[in-house]
Amino acid sequence: MKKVAEFFVEYFQFLDKDSKVVDDLPEFTNDRGFLISLYRSMVLTRIFDEKAVRMQRMGQLSTFPSSLGQEAVMVGTGAALKKEDVYCPYYRDQGVLFRHGVTPKELFIYWSGDERGSAFSGAREDFPIAVPIATQSLHATGVASAFKIRKQPRVVITMCGEGGTSEGDFYEAINLAGAWNLPVVFIVNNNQWAISVSREAQTKCETIAQKAISAGFKGIQVDGNDIIAVYDKVSQAVENARNGGGPQLIEAITYRLSDHTTADDASRYCPKDNLDKAWDEEPVERFKKYLEDYHDFNESEDLAIKDECSKEVDQAAIDMLNFEKPNAESMFDHLYENFPEALLVQYEELIAMNKEGGK
Amino acid sequence: MKKVAEFFVEYFQFLDKDSKVVDDLPEFTNDRGFLISLYRSMVLTRIFDEKAVRMQRMGQLSTFPSSLGQEAVMVGTGAALKKEDVYCPYYRDQGVLFRHGVTPKELFIYWSGDERGSAFSGAREDFPIAVPIATQSLHATGVASAFKIRKQPRVVITMCGEGGTSEGDFYEAINLAGAWNLPVVFIVNNNQWAISVSREAQTKCETIAQKAISAGFKGIQVDGNDIIAVYDKVSQAVENARNGGGPQLIEAITYRLSDHTTADDASRYCPKDNLDKAWDEEPVERFKKYLEDYHDFNESEDLAIKDECSKEVDQAAIDMLNFEKPNAESMFDHLYENFPEALLVQYEELIAMNKEGGK
Amino acid sequence: MTMITMAEAINQALVYEMTQDQDVVVMGEDVAGNGGVFRITVDLLEKFGPDRVMDTPLAESMIAGCAIGMASQGVKPVAEFQFMGFIYPAFDHIINHAGRLRNRTRGRLSCPLVFRAPYGGGIHAPEHHSESTEALFSHIPGIRVVIPSTPARAYGLLLAAIRDPDPVLFLEPKAIYRKFKQNVPDTGQALPLDKCFISKTGSDVTIVAWGAMHAEAMHAADILEADGISAEVIDVATIKQLDMKTILTSIEKTGHCVIVHEAARTNGVGAEIAAEIAEHGLFSLHAPVKRVTGFDTVMPYPILEKKYLPNADRISKAVREVL
Amino acid sequence: MTMITMAEAINQALVYEMTQDQDVVVMGEDVAGNGGVFRITVDLLEKFGPDRVMDTPLAESMIAGCAIGMASQGVKPVAEFQFMGFIYPAFDHIINHAGRLRNRTRGRLSCPLVFRAPYGGGIHAPEHHSESTEALFSHIPGIRVVIPSTPARAYGLLLAAIRDPDPVLFLEPKAIYRKFKQNVPDTGQALPLDKCFISKTGSDVTIVAWGAMHAEAMHAADILEADGISAEVIDVATIKQLDMKTILTSIEKTGHCVIVHEAARTNGVGAEIAAEIAEHGLFSLHAPVKRVTGFDTVMPYPILEKKYLPNADRISKAVREVL
Ligand SMILES: Cc1ncc(C[n+]2csc(CCOP(=O)(O)OP(=O)(O)O)c2C)c(N)n1
Ligand SMILES: Cc1ncc(C[n+]2csc(CCOP(=O)(O)OP(=O)(O)O)c2C)c(N)n1
Ligand SMILES: [Mg+2]
Ligand SMILES: [Mg+2]
């Protein structure tokens, strides 16, 4: 018998749950403006989520998955993306998309049940939200392959939940990323629940990070409620990938403080104790306290940010509600670039049906 | 930063390539009769493969995948199965199936292109050969789940090639096996090639064994050309699973000394040097030499075994060739247990067509 | 007499059969602790315990493959796909294994399982949650595809599906999970598979539908009745194997046929029915067979789904066109 | 004039287009070093290098998903599935992503790729290697399905498929990869998609076929000709979108139609064609439309595959029945 391979998984945290600094802070924490911008994005995300949940209750959105409690994962990831990089989202990562140029109005439109929300005016190459779990992991490898083939110094980030890591697609993606040494970073938003299925029921492995070992590259854990850890590690992984260093997997440990979506009732399965404990560790307050303790952040600055974000979100909601409704026949508009003759009859039928005021 | 998890992969070998004993031999090596039976199964497998390749060249089989060089992986695995255990095969594991009660005649029938070869008279609960790569890994978890639900002390073994470990199904299976602590053992026949794609191109990971880390259980490597190592480790894993110890992954390192199948020409992509080196390490001669050196095995015993196996295989081939051809309409016979009325017309059409002697 | 919804009827059938037959188990994403995202499997965990009601990890190929392995041992899994739009990763196991295990082993092994999936539009769900792709499965040999249209049929057909010794894909029209109630006595009485139901007899036209479209067809028949047009409404119920006999007999009488489905038109199940009529009922027909279907587009997001889905108006209009 | 096989014609098209368009890349299992198990991609690695000719790990969902990601960037992958029987793990990406990327993003992203797969029976291959399940894909909105029947059509249609800005599933009838040769000038001239080809004109009956069955249909037409029956043979070529116009025009003339495909009968592409005829060509028909198809069984292993596959005899017999 001999040992032929050894592996380990590291965990990174800079701010503990009481906002105490527990490790040497990275360079970027000297840039107050940048820190405030991260904070603002987290606040924007939270306010957006709250508004969206309310709008869904009023019948203005069809369903909505809040990212409550996971804002640090989202904003830290989004901030690591350069404009020319590509993001392959899942459905709970509004904070990443906002940082990458997608607007609150667009996401409202999307969740109102309208394809036009995915037309992303500011992130032209990002993938649309992937509802089929973990499929986006593979698209990310494809985009990264295109960068590699064209020798472009660009990087792809993709995210899924810890539940999504049970899908074959996730694994096929990390395996390919390893084999081809692709410039792609896999973020796992480990929020402890896949709808009602707990992290423990999902997989026996001690960490989600170690799944990368099966693909031959490094996986690490970060405290997903610590925006400094998330941003630091994701941006390092991104720059490493940009420099030809290949893929990396980052498991961000956090907690889903909301229902799975507005269609769910987490009180059926989520123990109240866990939730209370998780509220103590949530990222927005943690970061705010750090800013107060180490960067002279004050209440009036905070109020100004919250006010600004609320206004932005409210305006986006109004814009969405005023957005002109699509024609019925628009369902054919982007099916193919060259409209097939075979579909003309149906297309005209649809137009006629709606002219007649048919239901 | 802190380390939160550590892992390693072990490699096991008892006989080196020159048949020298390099580790403490397990108990069963005192049982000469058993060792000879392993040797006989390896010889049977090799002779069967040689015959099958010749028969394919003569048009008597449709395609055939030889296991040349991988006999120790197959026989060592098959020998670890009890009668009441279940095996979920792939397509290159005739040696396992023989040990579990499938006959050479049945496999000849199968590879002649006739479903009746999967009717396995002696291994009633084994899955049929799985051609769609890695799907059998999931069937194995299902069979193991049935054992667990029914609290039966039975175990499932399933095998795939190292190429098969790139499929999502393989990963979903190991993940479920870990999460549900199922009595299933995954064997990977790492023969270095997936048709023309090399082990290195398939995955970046240092060992295939470490893929188990992603599922939270142990993976080990064995020298797949050392039948003692294969049998020892597989039977330990099987008995561990039988006792509720859960799944294990065993990577058996070997080499495909033949073409992928009779439809392939490995000389197109497989460097001759590698092949020559692999011939030096092949399992049948290695085990024979060990038997000679440590168990007084002699040439006349060897000849008797080879003669017996040849006769058995030749007879099986004759039996296959004499096997009555199926009726055309038998293609409907086992489609459903309750024959659907809707298919009657087609069924009668098929019978009529063949009565008329239609082509 | 207690009136129950289709959702409740399915749960009632599961409870009945799990009580009768210890081999029946339920598995899928969120089916145990959460009772299913549509609450179809609610309380089963409490009633039958975690050995028989199993939350799986999140992987559909796994759900199918694992269920097939169980079924080969005579365990009878009723496995749920959370939505039909997420069944595709399991496609390989359905076509290459579930549908072939008996055939491939010449009857040595079999695959007595049910794959359940909510399907169809009309509940303003996000993308991929409103699919109707039953036609993909009706082309697959070795399986059955069953779609109930009422609480009572859901109960009787699900019992039949679980008892059937071969794999059945059981598609549940989620738009009518809770839309109306029926008296469904819990007698354990199965309904026949491979058989259409004549939901309403009539003489002028045959309307063929299934799932949620059945109610629209019935509604259309009412509208037409008011104008003196007598429609016969057939609920296909088992999409595979198709009971063409009942449909052809009806057309012999009515001479006119309108087929309705939510799925995209091209190569939908309506195509097969129309093709069979063209081959075996041609001389009964007084007018072309018309199909009222979803369009050959991606199922649109909720904002346009009403424009996509057939309804009683479109059906009655089509009937007037063929008459 | 050099005569080449369909296998060579496909390779010729790939070389042509890869030379013209730097964005075209080839990927799949064994396509690089080995030149493909059918040698379709032979020498491409040598000609275009490993950046553009890529062996992938063994995973079909990955091949599809990765290709979609590439295509979103304007790289144009021609991705091979080794056999059609192994395409199903990729089904999810084909239906939920390839077919929808343009639609979902309202044209912001698109998916210009070709999925190639050898399909069909007749070469005595092991199980799952002889599948013809084109109908599963013809139900999927947003994609095209193209099947060549001759070396020249393979060349022209593959060029068209690669140049098309949307995803195309290109199914290659492997039974005729090397069965006959044609003169196929390497001019880079594409053939039109979404169009049937009239391979032989005739007046008594329309035989509709594609892929390997096209040659059987032509052969049947010869047999019938000897008996004074004049058959028009239509090669559908693009299975989706269907060019019904050409087919209906032909039936207007002939009044009779026989549709041929190797795939199982129920809900095959023949069903859609027959249904469209039932709706739009009913009054042209002098007899029922007949389908000559594979049976609704699992494609049998080689020993019975000849009994399963339609052939010229079965086709000509069916024609005599409808006349
Ligand atoms: C392929 C697929 N299967 C099932 C679903 C239904 N579904 C939506 S979200 C979800 C749970 C996802 O959990 P996780 O990956 O942990 O992400 P989270 O929602 O917690 O962020 C499931 C099962 C889906 N969208 N896609
Ligand atoms: C799902 C699927 N994809 C592709 C194939 C075609 N195929 C048959 S064997 C093979 C290579 C398998 O290699 P490996 O898993 O290493 O097993 P080995 O044949 O080397 O024993 C491939 C690609 C298949 N049978 N199934
Ligand atoms: Mg989660
Ligand atoms: Mg191999």
Helices (H), C164-243: 212-226
Residues in chain D: 323
Domain end residue (candidates: C183, C205, C229): C183
What is the CB neighbour count within 10 angstroms for residue C323?
A: 16
Segment A195-224 shows an average pLDDT of: 98
Segment C108-127 shows an average pLDDT of: 97
Domain of C298, CATH number, reads 3.40.50.920
Domain end residue (candidates: C183, C205, C226): C183
If one residue of A187, A195, A199, A259 were mutated to test the ligand 1 pocket, choosing by the most ligand atoms within 8 A of its CB, it would be A195
One domain, residues D241 and D280: yes
Which pLDDT score is estimated for C2?
85
pLDDT band at D1 (very low <50, low <70, confident <90, very high): confident
One domain, residues C41 and C153: yes
The answer to whether residue C153 neighbours chain A at the CB level (below 8 Å) is no
Task: Judge whether D188 lies within some domain.
Answer: no
One domain, residues C85 and C151: yes
- Cα distance between residue A212 and residue B211, in whole Å: 9
**Residue of chain C minimizing CA distance to B175:** C57
Burial state string for D153-185 with b = 16 or more CB within 10 A and e = fewer than 16: bbbbbbbbbbbbebbbbbbbbbbbbbeeebebe
CA distance C213 to chain B (A): 24
From the list C252, C294, C287, the residue with the least C-alpha distance to C269 is C294
One domain, residues D216 and D172: no
pLDDT of B171 higher than 50:
yes
Map tokens 């939940």 to a residue: A161
Which pLDDT score is estimated for D153?
98
Our measurement of the distance from residue C222's CA atom to the centroid of its chain's CA atoms, rounded to an integer in Å, reads: 23
**Residue B163 CB–ligand 2 contact under 6 Å:** yes
User: Distance of CA D279 to CAs A336, C213, D248, Å?
Assistant: 26, 21, 11
Segment B112-123 shows an average pLDDT of: 98
If one residue of B90, B133, B270 were mutated to test the ligand 2 pocket, choosing by the most ligand atoms within 8 A of its CB, it would be B133
pLDDT of D218 higher than 50:
yes
Our measurement of the distance from residue C289's CA atom to the centroid of its chain's CA atoms, rounded to an integer in Å, reads: 23
Task: Judge whether D110 lies within some domain.
Answer: yes
Using one digit for the tens of pLDDT, what is the confidence trace for D52-62? 999 999 999 99
Domain of C48, CATH number, reads 3.40.50.970
Task: Judge whether D111 lies within some domain.
Answer: yes
**Annotation says B242 is catalytic:** no
Instruction: For residue A109, report the phi and psi dihedrals to the nearest 5 degrees.
Output: -60, -45
Contacts of D298 in chain C (CB under 8 A): 99-100, 103-104, 141-142
Ligand 3 center to B173 CA (angstroms): 20
Tokens coding B13: 């070998």
Which pLDDT score is estimated for A359?
42
Instruction: Indicate which residue's Cα is closest to atom 13 of ligand 2.
Output: B194
pLDDT band at C323 (very low <50, low <70, confident <90, very high): very high
Segment C111-126 shows an average pLDDT of: 97
Give the mean pLDDT of chain C: 97
Instruction: Indicate which residue's Cα is closest to atom 20 of ligand 2.
Output: B194
Q: Specify the ligand 1 atom closest to the Cα of A135.
A: 1
Cβ neighbours for B184, distance < 8 A, ≥ 6 positions apart: B140, B141, B143, B144, B155, B156, B157, B158, B177, B241, B247
- Cα distance between residue D310 and residue D224, in whole Å: 16
pLDDT of B357 higher than 60:
no
Task: Judge whether D215 lies within some domain.
Answer: yes
Contact yes or no for C307/A331 (Cβ under 8 A): yes
One domain, residues D152 and D49: yes
Segment D248-269 shows an average pLDDT of: 98
From the list C258, C317, C309, C316, the residue with the least C-alpha distance to C285 is C258
pLDDT of A357 higher than 80:
no
Cβ neighbours for B355, distance < 8 A, ≥ 6 positions apart: none
Instruction: For C225-273, give the DSSP string.
Output: HHTT--EEEEE--EEES--HHHHHHHHHHH--EEEEEEEESTTSHHHHH
One domain, residues C137 and C56: yes
pLDDT band at A189 (very low <50, low <70, confident <90, very high): very high
- Cα distance between residue B178 and residue B182, in whole Å: 7
One domain, residues C178 and C214: no
Q: Choosing among B169, B182, B214, B236, which should be mutated to test the A contact, i.e. which has the most A CBs within 10 A?
A: B214
- Cα distance between residue A94 and residue A101, in whole Å: 11
Task: Judge whether C192 lies within some domain.
Answer: no
Using one digit for the tens of pLDDT, what is the confidence trace for D289-302? 999 999 999 999 99
- Test B333 with C106 for CB contact under 8 angstroms: yes
Q: With a cut of 0.85, is the ipTM above it?
A: yes
Task: Judge whether D74 lies within some domain.
Answer: yes
Using one digit for the tens of pLDDT, what is the confidence trace for A102-116? 999 999 999 999 999
Give the mean pLDDT of chain A: 97
pLDDT band at B358 (very low <50, low <70, confident <90, very high): very low
Cβ neighbours for B267, distance < 8 A, ≥ 6 positions apart: none
Map tokens 């247990």 to a residue: B337
- Cα distance between residue D286 and residue C301, in whole Å: 44
Ligand 1 center to A66 CA (angstroms): 13
One domain, residues D23 and D159: yes
Q: Is C107 helix (H, G, I), strand (E, B) or coil?
A: coil
H-run or E-run covering A190: strand A184-190
pLDDT band at A355 (very low <50, low <70, confident <90, very high): confident
Contact yes or no for C166/C142 (Cβ under 8 A): yes
One domain, residues D207 and D91: no
Tokens coding D244: 């019904």
Domain end residue (candidates: D158, D183, D208): D183
Task: Judge whether D47 lies within some domain.
Answer: yes
Task: Judge whether D190 lies within some domain.
Answer: no
- Test C298 with D104 for CB contact under 8 angstroms: yes
Q: Choosing among D82, D265, D266, which should be mutated to test the C contact, i.e. which has the most C CBs within 10 A?
A: D266
H-run or E-run covering B50: helix B32-57
For CA atoms A212, A213, A218, A220, the dihedral sign is positive
Segment A134-139 shows an average pLDDT of: 98
**Residue of chain B minimizing CA distance to D85:** B132
Which pLDDT score is estimated for B355?
84
pLDDT of B359 higher than 90:
no
Instruction: Quote the number of domains for chain C.
Output: 2
**Residue D56 CB–ligand 2 contact under 6 Å:** no
Domain span at residue D123? Answer: 3-183
For CA atoms B12, B14, B15, B16, the dihedral sign is positive
Rg (CA), chain B: 21
Contact yes or no for D232/D198 (Cβ under 8 A): yes
List B11's β-bridge partners, or say none. A2, B221
Cis-peptide, bond into residue B346, ω within 30° of zero: no
C295 vs B359, which has greater pLDDT? C295
One domain, residues D241 and D115: no
The answer to whether residue D109 neighbours chain B at the CB level (below 8 Å) is no
One domain, residues D173 and D225: no
pLDDT of B1 higher than 90:
no
Which pLDDT score is estimated for A358?
45
One domain, residues C85 and C166: yes
